[in-house]
Every structure is written in C-alpha cells, then in structure tokens.
A and B are shown apart, each in its own frame.
Chain A
Amino acid sequence: MTTTNSGLDVLLEPAEDVRHKRYGSRLLRALPKVVVGVSIVVLVAIVLCAIFAPLLAPYSPNAPDLLNPYAAPSAAHLFGQDSAGRDILSRLLFGARLSLLGPTIVILIAFAVGVPLGFAAAYSGGWADIAISRVFDLIFAFPALLLAIVIVATFGTSFYSAVFAVTVTYIPLMGRVVRSACLVERQKPYVEACRLQGYGSWRILLLHVAPNIGRILVSQTTLYFAYALLDLAALSFLGLGAQPPQIDWGSMLENANQGVFQSATGVIFPAVAIILLVVPLNFVADWILEYNRGRGEFR
C-alpha cells in the first residue's frame, strides 16, 4: 500500500517519505453521481416514451394478429406478440401512459389529503392527533391489497377504482411521514422561538416548518410513486385494474402469464419496464435526501 501521491495539496509540506492509505479509487467515489445521472435519464426517457407513444409505436396497440399468438420477437415485432398477436413494443409504449398516470394521481391526492392531516396531527397534539393517528392505524391494519379488493368489488373493476383503492392506502402513509417530520422540527429551538413571539400555529407550520421538511417530503413522495406503481401493477395483474382496451404494464403481465411457456418475452418486457421505473426512482429519492448533506466541519 505504498504509493506516492502527486495530488497532495501544495500547502502541505510533504515529508521525505510519504505513505498513503487509499481504500477507495476515484472510480468508486464517482459511482453515486453516475448512478443518479443514469436514473434521471432513464426516467425522463420513459416519460417521453409515454408522451410520444403514438409517434414511436410501430403498430396500433390494440391491433390483433390472431394468427400469431405469443410469437417470439422478430424483425417485424421487436418485442414479440401477446396472446392476441398484438405488438408488445407498441403496447409497452402506450401502456406507459396509464402506468405513469395511476401513481401520479395516487400521490397527488395522497399529498393533498395526507399532508394537511399530518400537519393537523403534529400541531394539535392531544385528541386530534390521537384520533387521526388511530384512523391511520386502522387503514394500515388492513392489508393494502385486501382493502383494494373490497373497494374494487364495491365500485366495480376499472382503472379508476384501482387508483382510488391505492390512494386510500397511501393517504395515511403520507400523513405519517409528515407528522413524524413535523414532530422532529417542533422540538427544535427555532420553532420555540416562533412560539415565544406569539406566531400562530398555522403560521409556524406553513412558513417555517414546512420549508424545512420539504426535502424529506419530496424524497418520500418519489419513493411512494414507485410503490404505488407496484401496487397498481399488482392490482392490474389480478385483473382488478385497467380493463381492455385500456393497457397498462400490470395487465400486460396478466395477459402474458397464461402463455409464459410459449413466449417468455410477454412477461419479461413489462417486468423490465416496471423495474426500469422503480429502481431509478429509488436512487433519485435517496439522492434527494442525501444531496448536499456532506458538508461537515472539520475539527
């Protein structure tokens, strides 16, 4: 482990014999930035695919070709064909729309409802907090999928009832995160300083606490987008979500499931698509949280 280092800063007067310990190479240190960069590129690419699906898709997503069910990838159909001979690539591109739209609606509503509830729980303390927290707990106690099935059974299977079902389970999640983050901030002296002045609770909440928990909120929301996507895909896979002619990746999986021994591509590609969305979202969520945190002080 003896290497000479010419990168030593000039301010340091090097001793005659210089030994260094380096456990990480330059490449390893650069890895996190590269990973986040690639993640963002992948996410943007998927969104663009969804938006420009009509331009990018070689076929109409619902155009059947009943002579070639579960066909393997070929020159004409790059990703193969599904049970009705429809082009998987085109279905993937169009399916991105609902697959992205669903989680978006979920987190928007979960945010809009969960965040104020979380604030209210954190700030009122006492009975309101207990009441809200117990309602959250009640929802948590139900397995999300079971709850979703109940809701869907009540309102009928459709993309929107699946979205509604998942949203109900995400509201308490969001509320919980907000409540915890607020409680942490509340202990800090700057909030006490505000209380001392006689600022109202909502003022303290919106003007002072909320900006400080912003980073955590954004990171969690990103993560929840990924999880909502998985939950919606699961519902669609069970046939409880998007119904034909609507397409999303979960229902593509369900469709491909039956013919998996004839053509695995029907299963692989939607699965990969889901992974390509979920994994980068995780990296980005992490990065949002950790970004710029490394500025310590040296003693």
Chain B
Amino acid sequence: MTGPTASNDPREVVLALKRVSTSLRVGGRLRPVVIDVDLEVGAGEIVGLVGESGSGKSMTARTIADALPPDAAVSGEVLLHGENLLAMNRRRRREVQPSIGMIFQDPRAFIDPLWRVEDHLTEGLRVHRGLSRTEARARAIELLNTVGIDQPERRIHQYPGEMSGGMLQRVMIAGALSVEPAVLLADEATTALDVTTQAGIVRLLDRLRRERGLAVLFITHDLALANAICDRVCVMYAGRIVEVRGGKRIFDDPRHPYTMGLLAARPKVDSRSQRLPVIQGTPINAMDAPQGCPFHPRCPYVLPECLPQVPPMIPVEGGAARCVRAEEGAARLSASSHVGEQTDVALAVSEEGSECS
C-alpha cells in the first residue's frame, strides 16, 4: 500500500487498515464513529493514534480487536499479515485472536482480582498453546522477567490487589505477550499511571518492539507522549484521520489546524504563557460532523474551499494532512489569519517552533 499513512520502511506490514469505517447503533439508527481510516503498522514499529473524546480512536482499536457491540457495522478491510479479519468466519477469527494483544487503561478492571498472577498469565498459554501447567508457569516467570518485574518467582503467587498500578500494567503486558502476538494495541495504557511509571512502561514497549519485532498501535490523548515514543503519529478528529506525520515533525511542523490547536492548548513545562490559545468549541463525534471538513466550524483559518467535500489527505513532508491548506504551515497560516492573537493557535505553534530551532 502506498500513500501517506504507509510505513516508509520495507519492513513487513503486520497490521493494515484500509478505508475502515465503523458505525454503531444509536437510538435505532446506524451512526458512524470511525470514517475511512487508513493505517499501517509494520513489524517493530510504534504508530500513535491520538485524539480527544469522540475522535474514534478507541473505536478503531475495538474494531481491530473485534470488541464492538453485536449490532455494530464495519466496512473496509482490517488486514493482519494480509488476511482480512472482517471477512473471517468465527472459527478462524478465534484462531487468529491471540495474534492481537490488547492492553487497556485500567488493569484492575481486566485482571480478575481473585486470580493469582500465575493463573492470569498461564491461562492463555494453556488454552491457546496447549502447554502443561509446569511449562506454562516457567514461561510465565520468563514473561515477568521480560516485562521488568523483579522477583518473578514471588510475584507469580500474588494477587492483583497486592500490586501497584504500574506493576499490574506490566502484568497485563506480560499477559498480552504470553501468546506471542504480532500486534499490540495499547489503548490509553499509561493514562492512569504516574509520569515516572508511564516512562517505565513506555520504555518497556519500546524495548519489546525492538527486540521482538512487535507492531504496536499506541492510542492516547497525549500528543506529546505519542511524539516521544512513536515512529509515526496519526491524529484523529471526528472519526477521521486528519494528520499523519513521522519523526518529530508533528511537534515541530504541524500542518492541520486541529493538530496545531492540540499543541497550542497544552501548557508547556519550560515556560509560562500568559494565556493558552484555545480553539472555541468542543471536539465532536463522527456522527455530528458537518458537511465538508469536519473541523471547519472551529477552524480559525477556514476558507470557502473547505466546505463542499471532506478534504483528501494532502501529502506534506513526512506524511500528510487532511486540510486544503496543508502545504502552508503554521507561519503562513497565522500571517494570513483573521483571528486575534489569543486564539491564533498557528501563531503559538510557529512561535514555539522558532524558539526551538
């Protein structure tokens, strides 16, 4: 697959989404939550999926993991090693399910508090890989080592209640790894953790993808975090991908006004700003999107061209952005804008960019 969301590497593509759209049944009617998402994650790559509430990022993950409500509708293709997950029958889907690991925000909600760590880790091994109890236990200890838990022989007998959030998250990762997945979906996996614990988990994920060629889809609302650890970052808004950039470019040179808004709205730890430039309004769901560009009602740089259709992804350096003005960049946008300094997100971003360089 070519195009802006394609991985630049000749590495094997593990997970590919092609024009994936998901709709949920709301009040009796099907309403879209994810629209036309194209995404690729190669072996050993971490791709970030960033968005606020309503952006569709979690729904995208659930679509991949087949965790949607029974009356949802999905179109497009979700390819795992080239095989379309959506077209599989139930038996085949269950066979490939171990290839998709998933970790969530709250480990306590997903690990049975009445099971010891050993039980939790060995279940997958015994069911999917047919290991005996002793073999599975040995493997579980190995896994705990891999995820950086000390004294695994002791921890293996503990209950979730005896462990901290960060440690439990590592246990959840170990559980996901136990069946040797090809791709790992991390859905806000570090959101509930302290910043130092988060750094530890993120380093662990980085090491795992490097050592095992694990493909990781890292879903978060924190653009800075995604920027720090991901090879490529996709920003979602109203169910669509609106920008994809590789490297650190999304931070230094965002091309979609929404991305600029996200960047400008966060206070910086380095310096204090008088007032945070804010884009008025609140993020919307896919189902509430207007005609044309979904962001245009809130966009300070809107033009008449933004309206009749949804803009296509326009290639820019290091990726693409779904904006008719994608090629202009923050400095030019702010120069031509009619908004006041207080809400000029492009101004804030371009000023910061010039400070850094």
Q: Is B56 in contact with chain A by the CB < 8 A criterion?
A: yes
Among A1, A9, A297, the residue within 8 A (CB) of B23 is A9
Decide: A21 and B76 in contact? CB cutoff 8 A. Answer: no
Decide: A5 and B73 in contact? CB cutoff 8 A. Answer: yes
> Chain B interface: which of A11-19, A191-199, A201-209, A221-229?
A11-19
Among A9, A20, A22, A297, the residue within 8 A (CB) of B32 is A9
Q: How far is the CA of A299 from the CA of B72 in the complex (A)?
A: 14
Q: Is B334 in contact with chain A by the CB < 8 A criterion?
A: no
Decide: A297 and B53 in contact? CB cutoff 8 A. Answer: yes
Decide: A11 and B289 in contact? CB cutoff 8 A. Answer: yes
Among A8, A11, A17, the residue within 8 A (CB) of B73 is A8
Decide: B54 and A7 in contact? CB cutoff 8 A. Answer: no
Among B32, B58, B72, the residue within 8 A (CB) of A12 is B32
Chain A window 199-219, contacts with chain B (Cβ cutoff 8 Å), 1 for yes, 0 for no: 000000000000000000000
Q: How far is the CA of A174 from the CA of B79 in the complex (A)?
A: 54
Chain A window 1-41, contacts with chain B (Cβ cutoff 8 Å), 1 for yes, 0 for no: 10001011101111101111111100001000000000000
Residues of B within 8 A of A9 (CB): 23, 29-32, 287
Interface residues of B in 43-96 (CB under 8 A from A): 53-59, 68, 70-76, 86-87, 89
Decide: B58 and A299 in contact? CB cutoff 8 A. Answer: yes
Q: How far is the CB of A24 from chain B (nearest CB, A)?
A: 5
Residues of B within 8 A of A17 (CB): 75
Scoring A21, A22, A29, A297 by chain B CB atoms within 10 A of each residue's CB, the highest score goes to A21
Interface residues of A in 238-274 (CB under 8 A from B): none
Task: Closest B residue to A21 by CB, please name it.
Answer: B74
Chain B binding surface, main DSSP class: mixed
Decide: B53 and A22 in contact? CB cutoff 8 A. Answer: no
Q: How far is the CA of A298 from the CA of B31 in the complex (A)?
A: 11
Decide: A19 and B70 in contact? CB cutoff 8 A. Answer: no
Task: Closest A residue to B310 by CB, please name it.
Answer: A13
Q: Is B33 in contact with chain A by the CB < 8 A criterion?
A: yes
Decide: B35 and A19 in contact? CB cutoff 8 A. Answer: no
Chain A binding surface, main DSSP class: loop
Decide: A15 and B74 in contact? CB cutoff 8 A. Answer: no
Among A18, A22, A298, the residue within 8 A (CB) of B24 is A298
Other A-B contacts than A12-B32, A298-B54, A298-B285, 19 sampled, CB-CB below 8 A, are A8-B73, A9-B23, A9-B29, A11-B31, A11-B287, A13-B35, A13-B310, A15-B21, A19-B74, A20-B73, A21-B70, A21-B73, A22-B73, A23-B70, A29-B71, A298-B24, A298-B33, A298-B56, A298-B59
Decide: B23 and A8 in contact? CB cutoff 8 A. Answer: yes
Task: Closest A residue to B25 by CB, please name it.
Answer: A29
Residues of B within 8 A of A21 (CB): 68, 70, 72-74, 86
Q: How far is the CA of A21 from the CA of B29 in the complex (A)?
A: 15
Chain B window 1-37, contacts with chain A (Cβ cutoff 8 Å), 1 for yes, 0 for no: 0000000000000000001010110000111110110
In the complex with contacts A22-B70, A23-B71, A299-B58, A8-B53 CB distance below 8 A: no
Residues of B within 8 A of A14 (CB): 21, 75
13 A-B pairs, CB-CB below 8 angstroms? A11-B287, A13-B35, A13-B36, A20-B75, A23-B70, A24-B71, A298-B285, A299-B53, A299-B54, A299-B56, A299-B57, A299-B58, A299-B59
Residues of B within 8 A of A11 (CB): 31-32, 286-287, 289
Decide: B54 and A22 in contact? CB cutoff 8 A. Answer: no
Q: How far is the CA of A5 from the CA of B54 in the complex (A)?
A: 24
Scoring A11, A13, A14, A299 by chain B CB atoms within 10 A of each residue's CB, the highest score goes to A299
